[in-house]
Amino acid sequence: MRKISLFFILGSALLFSAISSEAAERIKLKVGIVGESYEVIWAPVIKRLAGEGIDIELVNFADYTLPNAALDAGEIDLNAFQHHTYLNNEIKTKGYRITAIADTFLSAMCLYSKKIKNVKDLKKGDKIAFPNDLINQGRALTVLQGAGIIKLDPAAGKTPEVTNVAENPLEIEFVPVDAAQVPSILPDVAAGVINGNYALDFGLSPAKDSIFYDDLSFYKDNGYINVIAARIQDADKDVFKKVAAAYQTNEVKKVFQEYFEGSYLPAWREK
């Protein structure tokens, strides 16, 4: 009996040691996000990485001003909520020692209307609403150029303004308003350029309801492409490369298609 008890104790100790060792070897990472949609997007990433011994904890921040500060301070390991232009401005103005390590998606910014079904139906003097902040206004004008409604001065920067409109054959009247308000004033204008998240909040499907759909080819560079960011000193870690690889998969593309009505366009290069 003593021998059996001894074997049982030794066996239990070895099993406990093995389990403890396995748990200790798992890597735990905190990823900063903003908004519930990211929790849906990251679900297949978390599942895939769990099978590789990497546990992801999503930290959902209340607004955009917080995740970069938390990353720079070492409170989280990565974040994924912003595009290159926003990140670069944060680095420039706040001195953060962080950098993009992987591209994720372009948030589709499309043209919608309650009055017409096609951009060809626009008439002279029609009004088009779009966001009044500089970055989103620049995107909206780029989309309108892609739709063939206007032409921008080729010398315009990455974020063109209304003053950079070189050709406006229909003499379209631009109506800049707060980005969140564009959907609500659609009945009062011929059309409106709406951010993907606000379109969804208003019950609009970018894929089904837009009269002109956004495209990666419209933009001069990767400025509006969202990213995964890390601290500069950690950017080349193998575990972060695994996170990027787990994100840039067909499983995530399926999430974009099934849950977000064409609101997100995959923006990574196929390997």
8 A C-beta contact, residue 183 and residue 199: yes
Q: Which residue has the tokens 């735990």?
A: 28
In DSSP notation, 4-15 reads: HHHHHHHHHHHH
Measured distance CA(166)–CA(152) in Å, rounded: 5
8 A C-beta contact, residue 108 and residue 265: yes
Q: Which of 217, 218, 201, 219 is nearest to 261 (CA)?
A: 201
Measured distance CA(262)–CA(256) in Å, rounded: 7
Interval 53-79: pLDDT, tens: 999 999 999 888 899 999 999 999 999
* Chain centre to alpha carbon of residue 16: 42
Measured distance CA(115)–CA(121) in Å, rounded: 9
Q: Which pLDDT belongs to residue 270?
A: 66
Query: 109-112 and 191-195 as β-strands: parallel, antiparallel, unpaired?
Result: antiparallel
Domain locations along the chain = 26-107+222-266, 109-213
Q: Which residue has the tokens 């980005």?
A: 179
Top CATH class, 109-213: alpha beta
Q: What are phi and psi of 96, to 5 degrees?
A: -65, 140
- Which of the four pLDDT bands, split at 50, 70 and 90, describes residue 212? very high
Interval 141-186: pLDDT, tens: 999 999 999 999 999 988 899 999 999 999 999 999 999 899 999 9
Domain 26-107+222-266 sits in CATH at 3.40.190.10
Q: Which pLDDT belongs to residue 238?
A: 98
Same topology between domain 26-107+222-266 and domain 109-213: yes
Interval 24-34: pLDDT, tens: 589 999 999 99
* Chain centre to alpha carbon of residue 57: 18
Q: Which pLDDT belongs to residue 25?
A: 87
The answer to whether residue 13 scores a pLDDT higher than 50 is: no
Query: 151-152 and 165-167 as β-strands: parallel, antiparallel, unpaired?
Result: antiparallel
Which residues touch 161 (CB under 8 Å, ≥6 apart)? 134, 137, 138, 141
Q: At what angle do helices 250-259 and 37-50 cross, to 10 degrees?
A: 150
8 A C-beta contact, residue 13 and residue 21: no
In the chain, beta strands by DSSP E: 27-33, 54-60, 78-79, 98-107, 109-112, 127-131, 151-152, 165-167, 173-177, 191-195, 225-231, 264-266
